[in-house]
Amino acid sequence: AIAAPGSPPAAQRRASRALAVGSVAVGGGAPVSVQSMTTTPTSDVEATLRQIAELTAAGCQIVRVAVPSQDDADALPEIAAKSGIPVVADIHFQPGYVFAAIDAGCAAVRVNPGNIRKFDDQVREIAQAASAAGVPIRIGVNAGSLDQRLLAKYGKATPAALVESALWECSLFEEHGFTDLKISVKHHDPRVMVAAYRELAGKCDYPLHLGVTEAGPLFQGTIKSAVAFGVLLAEGIGDTIRVSLSAPPVEEVKVGIGILESLGLRPRRLEIVSCPSCGRAQVDVYKLAEQVTAAFEGFPVPLRVAVMGCVVNGPGEAREADLGVSSGNGKGQIFVKGEIVRTVPESQIVEALLEEAMSHEWPVRSE
Ligand code: SF4
């Protein structure tokens, strides 16, 4: 992790086995990756590939597609071949689709062997096929789909029940010598989810895929995921993340990346340090912060840009910013590294910030 200046050293990452999900390393100390899932019918190859391209452009590193029907399974070869990022096939019950996904060139499969055993026990054959193809498997235990036996034993989806279920599912592959596994134990309540992952982290060394399931719409889901992932990642737990939102999947990717950036687990691309505004503000801070964010989106250097509503505390409060503005009297004081370099009319603030950004050399920040 990238430590903030003056902060205690970042938590040691939990030691986990290294897996390769196509070109993306997961576990074994690899950077925490961001995943999402398509919402298009997988059988609609064109729409699915379009959405995968949008997700890839947003920074998604691994994409999962649902495979509930034969038509979806039939679409996998083209999707896997044309996707710019590794594709994970999500399968619930049908062993035939697992073999199809492996043959199609999918980078991984999410399947719970407990489900496969109930219908047509081909766990051994799946383990052999996945092993031969070098395809890892994710065991995905959710509160809603907990095994009846464990539900009866624990009464509900407690952290211990989720963990026992996941490790039992793993054992069904382990008995065939297959250990290229990663695990998720998702729950809609961040407190249960955090407790489950903590317990799981101490009981195995498989890479962990973090997720709060049914987290909700954008605002609520972002908060739940940020809280739960934040606790775990700050403790060094978690190898890959998927934010689940009732919102377009690109939003999941943005939130996931934002969480990793906030924790210093990947370098920030752009940070807007804007004040919350108060009675001293002499400019519409919200609007100006939005305009500056839009203007700097995609700027090639990861800058920290301050937007301050008044000159009283402006440059002082934002001393660690690369550049910024503090407003007053219809003007903007533009400062670079805490020093005021010029004053411009309010209407020219954004333009002046961009000019200053482009006319300076910016060292690569280490925090
Ligand atoms: Fe208030 Fe000025 Fe601080 Fe913004 S920078 S919160 S306007 S005192």
Atom of ligand 1 nearest to the CA of 281: 7
What DSSP state is assigned to residue 263? T
Expressed in angstroms and rounded, the spacing between residue 272 Cα and the centre of ligand 1 is: 15
What is the model's pLDDT at position 12? Answer: 87
Cα–Cα–Cα angle for 290, 335, 299, rounded to 5 degrees: 50
Expressed in angstroms and rounded, the spacing between residue 352 Cα and the centre of ligand 1 is: 21
Protein residue with its CA nearest to atom 1 in ligand 1: 278
Please tell me whether 106 is known to bind a ligand.
no
Mutate to test the pocket of ligand 1, among 284, 287, 312 (most ligand atoms within 8 A of CB): 312
What is the model's pLDDT at position 6? Answer: 56
Protein residue with its CA nearest to atom 6 in ligand 1: 277
Span between the terminal Cα atoms of the chain, in Å: 9
Atom of ligand 1 nearest to the CA of 310: 2
Cα–Cα–Cα angle for 83, 20, 253, rounded to 5 degrees: 50
* pLDDT, tens digit, 9 for 90 and up, residues 307-346: 999 887 776 777 779 999 999 888 999 999 888 899 999 9
- Residues near ligand 1 with C-beta < 6 Å? 275-278, 280-281, 308-310, 312-314, 317
Mutate to test the pocket of ligand 1, among 282, 284, 288, 313 (most ligand atoms within 8 A of CB): 313
Atom of ligand 1 nearest to the CA of 313: 5
Atom of ligand 1 nearest to the CA of 314: 5
What is the model's pLDDT at position 145? Answer: 79
What is the model's pLDDT at position 300? Answer: 84
What is the model's pLDDT at position 5? Answer: 55
Q: Report the greatest alpha carbon distance in the chain.
A: 75
The ipTM (two decimal places) reads: 0.98
Contact 27, 17 (CB under 8 A): yes
Cα 109 to Cα 79, 137, 274, 277, 365: the distances in Å are: 14, 5, 42, 48, 38
* pLDDT, tens digit, 9 for 90 and up, residues 105-134: 999 999 988 777 765 678 999 999 999 999
Expressed in angstroms and rounded, the spacing between residue 282 Cα and the centre of ligand 1 is: 9
d(CA 143, CA 145) in angstroms, rounded, equals 6
Query: Which residue stretches of the chain have pLDDT < 50?
Result: none
Atom of ligand 1 nearest to the CA of 308: 5
Starting at the edge strand that comes first in sequence, how are the strands of the sheet with 323-328 ordered? 270-274, 303-308, 323-328, 331-336, 339-345
The token pair at 90 is 């999500």
Helix pair 159-174, 190-203: axis angle to 10 deg: 40
Expressed in angstroms and rounded, the spacing between residue 213 Cα and the centre of ligand 1 is: 38
Expressed in angstroms and rounded, the spacing between residue 308 Cα and the centre of ligand 1 is: 6
Protein residue with its CA nearest to atom 2 in ligand 1: 310
Please tell me whether 78 is known to bind a ligand.
no
Query: Half-sphere exposure (CA, 13 Å, Cβ side) for 70?
Result: 1
Atom of ligand 1 nearest to the CA of 279: 1
What is the model's pLDDT at position 364? Answer: 64
Torsion angles phi and psi, residue 270, rounded to 5? -155, 135
Number of H helices, E strands in the chain: 13, 15
